[in-house]
């Protein structure tokens, strides 16, 4: 059961969120980048894939934590917790 939760959280949530956050960041600063390029799948180099995968997971985890803290704080303000 722990493996299923780990796969769901790490693969689906953190990396998907991280990929989209990085993609939106590059759009905001005006740089044209494909999602395929940010995921590291456009190149054959395994090191490049690992670095993009790590960055996606890192930014996805940071974004997920920030959103969770904001939701908890708002629930605390309205007395839901």
Q: What is the pTM of this model?
A: 0.72
Mean pLDDT split into 10-residue runs, the chain, 81 residues: 74 83 90 81 69 85 91 88 61
* pLDDT for the residue numbered 2: 75
The answer to whether 40 and 53 have CB atoms below 8 angstroms apart is yes
Nearest to 40 by CA among 49, 31, 27, 29: 49
Residues 6+ apart with CB under 8 A from 70: none
* pLDDT for the residue numbered 73: 93
* pLDDT for the residue numbered 19: 87
Domain boundaries, the chain: 2-78
């Amino acid at each position: 059961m722990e493996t299923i939760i780990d796969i769901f959280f790490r693969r689906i949530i953190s990396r998907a969120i991280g990929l989209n956050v990085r993609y939106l960041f590059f759009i905001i600063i005006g740089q044209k980048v494909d999602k395929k390029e940010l995921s590291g799948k456009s190149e054959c180099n395994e090191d490049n894939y690992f670095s993009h995968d790590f960055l996606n997971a890192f930014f996805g985890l940071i974004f997920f934590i920030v959103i969770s803290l904001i939701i908890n704080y708002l629930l605390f303000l309205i007395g839901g917790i």
